[in-house]
Structure 1
Amino acid sequence: MESAGQPGVEAGHAGVEYEKVGREYFENRQLKRGAAGWLLLVGLGVAYVISGDFAGWNFGLAQGGWGGLFVASLLMATMYTCMCFALAELATIAPTAGGGSGFARRAFGPWGGFLCGVAILMEYAIAPAAIAVFIGAYCNSLFGIDGWTVYLGFYAVFLGIHLYGAGEALRLIFAITALAVVALIVFVLAMIPHFDVNNLFDIPATDAAGASPFLPFGYIGIWAAIPYAIWFFLAIEGVPLAAEETSDPKRDLPRGLIGGMFVLLAFCALILTFGPGGAGADALKDSGNPLVAALESSKVYGGPTWISRFVNFVGLAGLIASFFSIIYGYSRLIFSMSRAGYLPRALSLTGSRKTPYVALIVPGIIGFLLSLSGQGDLLILIAVFGATISYVMMMASHIALRIREPDLARPYRTPGGILTSGVALVLACAAVVAGFLVDPRVVIGAAVVYAIFVGYFAIYSRHHLVAAAPGEEAPY
């Protein structure tokens, strides 16, 4: 135990124990306050997710056809919109770098905080690995190179930028995201003249229950497409992870969450309509770079053009933006959970530039190793499993705090209250199950990893939590 005060162990509630630590423990674990304002947070929210517009969503076409993915996207758009309104309130109640982990800790105690935090950790540690695979596919289209050298190069460069400083990283994320937005706008404008509603329904109908040209894989296809519809929005909930580096978290976090969500809703509608509507759903359902594939398809431009090369090259920025920003997100989550003792404490050490260098490097190595599988679609399933578990817990936290502590100070209040978070909760529960319809072995494997983390907390870390850590209740 790191301590220079008077160390001691005291019992808390729910069978946990807290250790007192000295002042230098927290001095070695500090982030740079004021690195981000609300506009940078909007950019961060869009950056977390924008790679989902460039690759990943289209695998839902292979599960549900265009109609199945369309309905799944409507459901998930509803879930994420409701969830962002609820998270905006929670973020003003418990503004710490733990994000959702802190919300669940406030509502359900240390066990709730850990269970939610580890679920988010699985999402944020795995998502960059999936994005690295998609980056490889785009690099292959551009330069003819792919594989481990591409993955390693991107991990090394962008981990290095994060290690240099939070303010610099956030500003660079914003600039890269702006380039990616330009690429999406160019793509949509280029596809509009080639739109044909019949292209949306060119996947042949099967004999599944409810199958039709609109739902070629039947009703079950809607459910199976949900994990890929989530990819249009996955990780927007990471905006509150910047709470301790935000100028005014109680004002800026709600603006960042809600502003970012409305941008993502617009792009989801445009990409899902004009991508398959121009090239055909069947042509895009298995592509690693569907926007380029759409532009170069026989129904659009019939081969490479300056537009497809532009979208390919600048579109790489969209993948980089999410890759770069999610690395930021996982490092802040691990920093917060480690500082409070839920994860090994060494992970929360910060350097002279106030960056959590251990929390950046260790998951980066793990993510790189996972990216070597080259299975971006299966890595998405693992990330979605962790994400949906955390959504259930965060929405339950919102409802619990509204019921148990109605007079709690809430600088921002969710429109619709628990009805809004209740809608998100029901849809999140459905989304948890959806991954099992695609590949149950992958999701069961993710559940086993989750169980191992829970075992670590039950056996060890719940007896070694840090008293007076931000977001923790001191037991004395």
Structure 2
Amino acid sequence: MSKNTVSGVTYTKAEDGYFEKRSLKRTAGFWGLWGIGIAAVISGDFSGWNVGLATTGWGGLLIATIVIVIMYFTMIFSIGEMSAAMPHTGGAYSFARAALGPWGGFVTGISESIEYVVTTAVVVLFSAAYAGQIITDLTGAEVPAWLLWIILYAVFIGLNSLGASVGFRFALIVAIISMAVILLFAVLSIANGAVDFSRLFDIAPTSGNSSFLPFGGIGILFSLPFAIWFFLGIEELPLAAEEAKNPAKDIPRAGVWGIITLAFFGLLILFLNPAVTGSKALTVSPGDGDEPLLAGFRAFLPDSVAALLALFALIGLLASLQGIMFAYGRNMYSLSRAGYYPKFLSLTGKKHQTPWVALLVGGVIGFVILVVVALVIPAVNPNAAGAATGIILFIAVFGAVISYVMQMISFIVLRRRFPSAKRPYKSPTGIVGAVVAGVIAVAAFIGIVANPTFNLAVITFVIIFVVGLAIFALVGRNRLVLSPEEEYALSGGLHGDPQTEGYDAMEDEMFTK
């Protein structure tokens, strides 16, 4: 028989050559993985985090950042253990599929899809803001934002389609340049005497509150989603499992060192950027609210020099555009290869073996989101113009925290359900660490839902989420394929590495019954 129903979903035997048309190449070592992880996140130091100052103040954001550092360390330990045990591209979807069944896998997978596609859109928005301002400062010309969006998507979809080796190399180079720009800002701002830490507290406190927490303790809760922006995307590393040379060893190691690196640079920016400009200045949007580092350079350098240095700062945003686009491409590829999404999305090119269809479709979706949120909504309601950045950012973070909670639940369940599964790497914080990370992620979820400013972001996410679930219930669940992620789950963790065991290890067993 060519079909088999298990756990309420139906598996169909893959056609001849199915996996050959969806193959990936192993090209990444430790440094390539570390580079793609840093690249995916580093834009969070250049834009986005500062939006939270308007509703939380600097003190609330500092405390929230420390809490989020704890969450990411404990979470990355847990993810490292699961990725070493499941060295295939599915990542979060794969972990939840093994622990919580097909529906749990799909819920986690679509949450990550929303996270990565929308995060890419946010980075494109910030990159266009930086690029447009630089062009204006240097030439006096103004380029429409939508045209810059198209150019950025086209260039980076093309770059990501050239092959994983090119993508990993580019990500490593731009990640290093991005970190150098932040260090340069730190050195120049201190050398020019531009740093005044009293400026951190220049947001007037509301009645009964202090300059450290100008909006009270509730500001810490509201700060959590913005603090996540310093790290959002580092959890993508398991998506590179089938392109890593030694995934069981290098992905956990790259994740841990990635968090250490990002924590250092995130805290450096959090202390110095508003100390140069003042916290209040970085709450303005549009304007400095979209380009905080450029505002920092302008504070102590001539506009022409600041614009030139901001050109290097733009590299940080482009680094994340490369890294996070890699993530949505592999996330959509793995869900498509297993049949959760339309199967054509997982096709890879014959020469470069990259999921170019998923990259293109994800780019189109992201562009539409930008047009609707940044152009259409403000045109209909001019009062919403300043909230566009926050709305898109919150949609991305909302998807992230849902996937984080699901992954931590998956870690705990897998420790109990699959005790005999191979675990080449074990989390040093174990189940306790997963619980801590999960609780903080739930708190961040509450911080999003409880903030009335971004109700539109929550509603938008829920609509996309419900539509996706409905399509899966009606169509997708009847068309699944025994991809590596599905085989691992169905075998109780006995089928691990697809490139060692083959991509159809269980087909004869399942379809000859």
Tell whether the structures are fold-level matches, with TM greater than 0.5. yes
Indicate whether 1:422 and 2:435 are aligned: yes
Corresponding residue number in structure 1 for 2:358: 359
Query: How far does the alpha carbon of each residue in 1:65-96 deviate from its partner, in whole angstroms, 9 at most, with x for none?
Result: 10111111111111111111111101011121
Query: How far does the alpha carbon of each residue in 1:191-222 deviate from its partner, in whole angstroms, 9 at most, with x for none?
Result: 23332221111100012xx6211111112211
Corresponding residue number in structure 2 for 1:462: 477
Corresponding residue number in structure 2 for 1:413: 426
Corresponding residue number in structure 2 for 1:321: 319
Indicate whether 1:386 and 2:399 are aligned: yes
- 2:262 and 2:109 map into 1 onto residues whose CA distance is 24
1:190 to 188, 191, 194: 188
Equivalent AA in structure 2 for residue 53 of structure 1: D
> CA contact under 8 A between 1:284 and 1:294: conserved in structure 2?
no
Equivalent AA in structure 1 for residue 40 of structure 2: Y
- 1:64 and 1:341 map into 2 onto residues whose CA distance is 43
Corresponding residue number in structure 2 for 1:9: 3
1:449 to 458, 464, 468: 464
Structure 1 position 469, deviation (Å): 4.3
1:236 to 217, 234, 241: 234
Corresponding residue number in structure 1 for 2:118: 126
Query: How far does the alpha carbon of each residue in 1:398-443 deviate from its partner, in whole angstroms, 9 at most, with x for none?
Result: 1111223333321111012111111000001111121121411221
Structure 1 position 302, deviation (Å): 6.7
1:105 to 97, 101, 106: 97
- 1:266 and 1:468 map into 2 onto residues whose CA distance is 38
Equivalent AA in structure 1 for residue 58 of structure 2: W
Q: How does 1:292-371 map to 2 (within 5 A)?
A: 292-297=294-299, 301=300, 303-304=302-303, 306=305, 308-352=306-350, 353-371=352-370
Equivalent AA in structure 2 for residue 360 of structure 1: L
Q: How does 1:155-234 map to 2 (within 5 A)?
A: 155-192=153-190, 193-207=193-207, 211-234=209-232
Structure 1 position 282, deviation (Å): 0.8
> CA contact under 8 A between 1:137 and 1:146: conserved in structure 2?
no
Structure 1 position 387, deviation (Å): 0.4
- 1:393 and 1:380 map into 2 onto residues whose CA distance is 20
> CA contact under 8 A between 2:57 and 2:213: conserved in structure 1?
yes
Task: Rate the CA distance shift 1:235–1:346 in 2: closer, same or farther, 3 A.
Answer: same
Structure 1 position 455, deviation (Å): 1.2
5+ residue gaps, structure 1, are 1-6
5+ residue gaps, structure 2, are 137-142, 375-387, 491-505
Q: How does 1:72-151 map to 2 (within 5 A)?
A: 72-144=64-136, 145-151=143-149
> CA contact under 8 A between 1:180 and 1:317: conserved in structure 2?
yes
Equivalent AA in structure 1 for residue 4 of structure 2: E
Query: How far does the alpha carbon of each residue in 1:114-158 deviate from its partner, in whole angstroms, 9 at most, with x for none?
Result: 110000000001011111111111112210234011110011011
Query: Secondary structure of 1:324's match?
Result: helix
> CA contact under 8 A between 1:130 and 1:377: conserved in structure 2?
no
TM-score, structure 1 as length reference: 0.94
Corresponding residue number in structure 1 for 2:416: 403
Query: How far does the alpha carbon of each residue in 1:365-402 deviate from its partner, in whole angstroms, 9 at most, with x for none?
Result: 11112223332221110000100000000011111112
2:17 to 24, 42, 45: 24
Runs of 4+ aligned residues of structure 1 deviating over 4 Å after TM superposition are: none
Corresponding residue number in structure 1 for 2:498: none
Structure 1 position 23, deviation (Å): 3.1
Equivalent AA in structure 2 for residue 235 of structure 1: G
- 1:165 and 1:360 map into 2 onto residues whose CA distance is 12
Equivalent AA in structure 1 for residue 170 of structure 2: L
Equivalent AA in structure 2 for residue 158 of structure 1: F
- 1:363 and 1:204 map into 2 onto residues whose CA distance is 42
> CA contact under 8 A between 1:131 and 1:376: conserved in structure 2?
no
Structure 1 position 470, deviation (Å): 4.2
Structure 1 position 310, deviation (Å): 4.0
Query: Secondary structure of 2:161's match?
Result: helix
- 2:459 and 2:368 map into 1 onto residues whose CA distance is 20
- 1:376 and 1:202 map into 2 onto residues whose CA distance is 23
Query: Matched residue pairs, number?
Result: 462
Equivalent AA in structure 1 for residue 52 of structure 2: G
- 2:17 and 2:357 map into 1 onto residues whose CA distance is 18
Task: Rate the CA distance shift 1:456–1:87 in 2: closer, same or farther, 3 A.
Answer: same
- 2:475 and 2:317 map into 1 onto residues whose CA distance is 38
> CA contact under 8 A between 1:159 and 1:360: conserved in structure 2?
yes
Query: Secondary structure of 2:14's match?
Result: coil
Corresponding residue number in structure 1 for 2:274: 276
- 2:294 and 2:302 map into 1 onto residues whose CA distance is 10
Equivalent AA in structure 2 for residue 355 of structure 1: T
Structure 1 position 259, deviation (Å): 1.3
Query: How far does the alpha carbon of each residue in 1:216-274 deviate from its partner, in whole angstroms, 9 at most, with x for none?
Result: 11122111222211110001100111101010110111111111111100011100011
Structure 1 position 330, deviation (Å): 0.7
2:48 to 53, 56, 62: 56
CA RMSD, 1 decimal:
1.5
Corresponding residue number in structure 2 for 1:3: none
Residue identity (%): 40
